[in-house]
Amino acid sequence: MRKWPTFPHREGTYSKQAHADFPEQAIYEREAGREGFFGPATHFHHQHAPTGWSEWEGELKPRAFNFNQVQQAHHNSPWSVPDLLHNNECKVRVWRLHEAMPQLARNGDGDELLFIHQGSADLYCDYGHLHVSEGDYVMIPRSTNWRLEPESPLFILMIENTGSAYALPDKGIVGQHAVFDPAVLEAPSINDKFKAQYSEKRTQVALKRDNKVNVITYPFNPLDAIGWHGDLSVLKLNWRDIRPLMSHRYHLPPSAHTTFVGNGFVVCTFVPRPIESDPGALKVPFYHNNDDYDEVLFYHAGDFFSRDNIEAGMVTFHPAGFTHGPHPKAFQAGREAKKTFTDEVAVMIDTRNALQHSQAASDVENTEYVYSWKTGS
């Protein structure tokens, strides 16, 4: 464990606690923190919004992408769609599938996490059959054979945990049943649908390893298991089964909403919840420097209360190293307590190492997003 120097200090005019009861002459709180909200932190009180820049030069800037418009996302193989955001530990793609996959897929590079943004399908894999639909996370262990047969057109967010495996977060003092009870996780079944697809027909597997695709041909369907036992499996979790941690007096950091832990990154889920009701409590995400993590948000559904002009299927990307937070209208609405409940659903990916964006992402970028914090924008 890293031993940080600790010396709590107060200077000038400040609030008694973080995220509550700000000095009236300095309503803009900014948190500078380390290790993604788990390390030491300082809370500044500013007279101007920390996002009130008038110009920005250079590439390390906040970005917004409309993943609805990614043309290369339409394909019958997940290995033929482009990386959009990526580093050595994590690859983010979107994939649209309208017809049954002609081959099995197998990822030799790491665990795959599918988030079903739109549509429904039958998933067939080594472990059996699983029905998946809008709002489901599907965690697929490395080197699992699988394929999808859509019932309705699929739009999928794919998050590869390159070189590693997904785990559940440590829930600490709130206990193992907090956020979601592991009892809601669903595994595939060796059911009648799975048995019906046993076949002696020629079947191909598209195996991805080191970003190269090999095609393996069998004279039979290798999804032929008659049973299994163990604690490694494909797993499904729907966002509707997540019961978020809440506090009516304190705005919890994003880390409180962690759903899966990868190697060098976490996946969090924001789901509808009551907004803080204490009169002095901050009611929108606080301005902050997340100086050790890049932050990515995929917007799935609802009214995204901290953002303007964002719709479902869009993505915001905030690299580490600068202050970000709510847009001006959202900040003002929070001060006026206009809403008592959030109805947004979003997937957040926080990566320890810098993400790169591809040309396919650049093609669908809103280049004016960097100036969306300007007053009146």
CA neighbor of 174 nearest in space, from 114, 229, 247: 247
Q: Are 268 and 166 found together in one domain?
A: no
Helix (H) / strand (E) containing 112? strand 110-125
99 falls within a domain: yes
Q: Are 87 and 216 found together in one domain?
A: yes
- Burial class of residue 185 in the structure, from the number of CB atoms within 10 Å of its CB (0-12 exposed, 13-18 middle, 19+ buried): middle
Neighbours of 281 (CB within 10 A): 19
Q: Which of 72-76, 247-251, 355-359 comes out lowest in average pLDDT?
A: 247-251
Q: Is 357 annotated as a binding residue?
A: no
Q: Average pLDDT for residues 245-252, to the nearest whole number? A: 80
What six digits make up the tokens of 30? 């900014």
195 pLDDT exceeds 50? yes
CA neighbor of 27 nearest in space, from 43, 6, 48: 48
Gap between the Cα atoms of 150 and 178, Å rounded? 33
Helix (H, G, I), strand (E, B) or coil at 182: helix
Of the three residues 239, 266, 282, the one that is the final residue of a domain is 239
Beta strands 294-301 and 314-318 are antiparallel
Q: Is 19 annotated as a binding residue?
A: no
Q: Are 187 and 233 found together in one domain?
A: yes
pLDDT at res. 47: 79
Q: Are 139 and 175 found together in one domain?
A: yes
Which residues have a catalytic role annotated?
Answer: 251
CA neighbor of 112 nearest in space, from 158, 157, 169, 66: 158
Instruction: Let me know: does 353 contact 262? Beta carbons within 8 Å.
Output: no
Q: Are 210 and 329 found together in one domain?
A: no
Q: Are 224 and 252 found together in one domain?
A: no
User: What is the largest distance, in Å, between two alpha-carbon atoms of the chain?
Assistant: 77
**Parent domain of 190:** 73-239
Instruction: Let me know: does 92 contact 349? Beta carbons within 8 Å.
Output: yes
Q: Are 165 and 35 found together in one domain?
A: no
202 falls within a domain: yes
CA neighbor of 284 nearest in space, from 249, 248, 322, 335: 335
Q: Is 318 annotated as a binding residue?
A: no
Gap between the Cα atoms of 212 and 134, Å rounded? 30
Of the three residues 239, 262, 284, the one that is the final residue of a domain is 239
- Amino acid letter for position 235: L
Tens digits of residue pLDDT in 303-312: 775 566 789 9
- Mean pLDDT for the chain? 89
pLDDT at res. 376: 53
Confidence label for 36 from pLDDT (cuts 50, 70 and 90): low
Q: Are 99 and 202 found together in one domain?
A: yes
Gap between the Cα atoms of 108 and 215, Å rounded? 13
165 falls within a domain: yes
CA distances from 109 to 57, 231, 299 (A): 36, 21, 26
Gap between the Cα atoms of 338 and 141, Å rounded? 44
CA 282, 312, 59, 164: dihedral to nearest 10 degrees?
Answer: 90
49 falls within a domain: yes
5 falls within a domain: no
What's phi and psi for 332, nearest 5 deg?
Answer: -70, -40
Of the three residues 218, 239, 260, the one that is the final residue of a domain is 239
Number of domains in the chain: 2
**In the chain, what percentage of residues exceed pLDDT 90?**
62
- Amino acid letter for position 70: V
Helix (H) / strand (E) containing 85? strand 85-86
DSSP string, 233-259: --EEEEGGG-B----SSS---GGGGEE
377 pLDDT exceeds 60? no
Confidence label for 54 from pLDDT (cuts 50, 70 and 90): confident
Q: Are 226 and 268 found together in one domain?
A: no
What six digits make up the tokens of 127? 């472990």
230 falls within a domain: yes
pLDDT at res. 283: 60
181 pLDDT exceeds 90? yes
Q: Are 175 and 129 found together in one domain?
A: yes
Q: What is the CATH number of the domain that holds 58?
A: 2.60.120.10
Tens digits of residue pLDDT in 311-353: 999 999 999 888 877 776 766 666 666 778 788 999 999 999 9
345 falls within a domain: yes
Q: Are 80 and 219 found together in one domain?
A: yes
Sorted by sequence, the CB contacts under 8 Å of residue 4 that are 6+ apart come out as 34, 39, 40
Q: Are 167 and 32 found together in one domain?
A: no
303 falls within a domain: yes
Tens digits of residue pLDDT in 151-166: 999 999 999 999 999 9
- Burial class of residue 73 in the structure, from the number of CB atoms within 10 Å of its CB (0-12 exposed, 13-18 middle, 19+ buried): buried
